[in-house]
Amino acid sequence: MQITVIGAANVDIITKSKAKVVREDINPADVKLSAGGVGLNIAAMLARHGEDVGLITAVGKDPLGSILHKSCKEIGIKTDAWIIKSNTSTGVFLATLENDGEVYAAFNAMTAPETIRTAEITKHKGIVKDADLLILDLNISEKIINVVLDIRENRPVLVDAVSVAKVLRIENHLEKIDVLRLNRMEAECLTGITLDTKERVKQACFNIVNRGVTRVFITLGMAGVCAAYKKSAIFVPATPIVTKDLKGAGAAFTAGLALHFEDDLRTQAEAGIKHAAEHLERNS
């Protein structure tokens, strides 16, 4: 299966204190720099499973952009359609962790994908249109989302909602989405329904399906996932994992959905949970 991913690529800088963080002091720490971003993470996971995958993203013409480009090529991600911008900085995610792994503070500067213009996407119309599966993360602008969905002409599209701040970018395009993955807060934002009971979670799923999405998967953390298709909704339990760092679990779940895109609803949901759990175990 040939897969094209459109979304964010950024450098993750994670600082973990060696002792309890002391405010207004210099704290000894370990620092890890790695390639990240929802779109890049999904593409990397698919490439490691042997899929033919290309990533369309925007980065700055700077050293961090070069680091990301080299990392992706080493993994096996096609980078021919990268958009290199001299007037934009490569995205950065910066997190400071306590010595026990709890997040002390986190910051991001990831505006590069939102600067992608229509002409920069249509230049690569072939790999957008002809891919067996297109995966979108919502770090791109609503205008570009609309352009991409029109290019696809109703061919399979999987969307990762990314965040509460960005999920409404697809509110007017749901009928063009085959599979939508979002978490509890994103689903609440998109539907206006408070997901405090199982019945309300199912109600939110049907709300989204009735507005045009073919399949929806609402991830609920350790409560598992609710998946829906037409008039059927199921709950699938999570795999118990002992970890405080859930970073990348959503992208791993989405990668699992992509790898089992043509399977039935339950198998696809179980695959998402399995891939998320394996990711967390590797990084715990």
Contact indicator for 166, 150 with CB cutoff of 8 Å: no
Measuring CA to CA, how many Å separate 93 from each of 22, 35, 97, 159, 205?
22, 10, 13, 21, 31
Burial class (CB in 10 A: 0-12, 13-18, 19+), 104: middle
**Equal fold, 1-155 vs 181-284:** yes
What is the token pair recorded at 144?
């570009």
What is the token pair recorded at 8?
């964010």
Give the integer Cα–Cα distance in Å for 84 and 155.
Answer: 28
Is residue 215 within a helix (H) or strand (E), and if so which, with residue range?
Answer: strand 215-219
Taking the domains of the chain in order of start, what are their residue ranges?
1-155, 181-284
| pLDDT (mean) for 200-227 | 96
Is residue 272 scored above 90 in pLDDT?
Answer: yes
Q: What percent of the chain has pLDDT over 70?
A: 97
Give the integer Cα–Cα distance in Å for 117 and 2.
Answer: 24
Amino acid at 197: T
DSSP label at 238?
Answer: P
CATH of 1-155, one of 3.40.50.1000, 3.40.1190.20, 2.160.10.10, 3.40.50.720: 3.40.1190.20
Neighbouring CB atoms inside 10 A of 125's CB total 12
Q: What is the pLDDT of residue 245?
A: 56
* Among 262, 274, 283, residue whose Cα is nearest residue 3: 262
What CATH topology corresponds to 181-284? UDP-N-acetylmuramoyl-L-alanine:D-glutamate ligase (3.40.1190)
DSSP label at 78?
Answer: B
| pLDDT (mean) for 87-98 | 92
Identify the band that residue 244 occupies on the pLDDT scale cut at 50, 70 and 90. Answer: low
Is residue 84 within a helix (H) or strand (E), and if so which, with residue range?
Answer: strand 83-85
In the chain, where does DSSP find H-type helix? 38-48, 63-75, 118-122, 125-130, 142-152, 164-167, 184-191, 198-210, 249-259, 265-283
> Mind listing the pLDDT tens digit for each residue in 114-162?
999 999 999 999 999 999 999 999 999 999 999 999 999 989 999 999 9
Q: What is the pLDDT of residue 251?
A: 93
Is 0.85 surpassed by the pTM of this model? yes
In the block, tokens 């701040």 appear at: 165
> Mind listing the pLDDT tens digit for each residue in 47-89?
999 999 999 999 999 999 999 999 999 999 999 999 999 999 9
Tell me which of 96-105, 165-174, 191-200 is least confident. 96-105
Tell me the pLDDT of the chain averaged across its residues. 93
Dihedral sign for Cα 120, 129, 38, 212, please.
positive
Give the integer Cα–Cα distance in Å for 93 and 239.
Answer: 27
